[in-house]
Each structure stands twice: as structure tokens, then as C-alpha cells.
Amino acid sequence: MEFLNTIGGYALGLLGAGLAAFMAGIGSAKGTGIAGEAGAGLVSEDPSKFGKAMILQVIPGTQGLYGFVIWFLAYSKLAAVGAASVSVAQGLQVLAACLPIAFGGLLSGIAQGKVAAASVNILAKKPDDWSKGMILCITVEFYAILSLLASFMMLSAVTLG
């Protein structure tokens, strides 16, 4: 029990930070992969559409960036006070604060990849309307941003030390 009281809070905080980066990164990797597969198919038929297809592929990558931002903030907050200064309750608070972007980034990254892949189809069939696909992708992005803000605000409310 002494071990848990000594560094358990720090470990829980690090777990939350890691989940934020890891799960949002998985969402982005999966989302950009889905969109990239669709883009590669289009570019094999019409190489002139590479630039626009690449823009659509990159859009689902923002969730990983958001997860990394929360990881950085949580890790910085934990590192500033040290392992022995973080109680289990505080570690749980950091863990809970990281969960919105962890799960929001995972799910929205995959969903946005699917929308981006469908938007590649718009680019293939109606090249002048490809920006409409970007707008559809941005609709999903809104929920990733809400997850980022929720984690940021919750993490900002945690006082360590």
C-alpha cells in the first residue's frame, strides 16, 4: 500500500497522459490510413489529383496532434512536481482529464477517415466540388476539438503538489 501512496498517483497520471497520446494517435493512424487508401486508388487513375487527395488524407491526422498536446500538458504538470508529490486522488484526476481526448480522438479520427475517403470519391467524380468533402470532414473535426477542450479544461483544473 505504501508503494501505491508513494508513486501510484504519478503512475495514474502518466497512464492518462499516455492514453491521450496513444488512443488519439491510433484514431489518426487509422483515419489517415483509410483516407490514404482511397486517395491512392484515385491517384493511380489520375495523378493530377494527388494534392487534393493528400489534403483530404491529412485531415484525420489532427486527432493525434490533439492527443499529443494533452499528453504534453499532463506530463509537464506531473514532471513539475515529481512522483512523490502526486496523490492517488490527483493522479486519478489527471487520468480522468485525459480520457475525453483519448476516446474522442480515437473515435473521431476513424470516423473522419471514413468521411475523408468518401470525399475522395467526390474528388474523383466531381473535382470542382471537392471542397464540399472538406466541409463534411470539418464537421467531424468539431467533435475532436470538443474532446480536446474538455481535456484541456479538466486538466487545467487539476492542482498537483
Query: In terms of DSSP H, where are the helices of 88-129?
Result: 88-125
Percent of the residues in the chain that have a pLDDT greater than 90, as a whole number: 88
pTM of the entire predicted model: 0.91
pLDDT of residue 5: 66
Q: What percent of the chain has a predicted confidence (pLDDT) above 70?
A: 96
Domains of the chain, earliest start first: 2-157 (1.20.120.610)
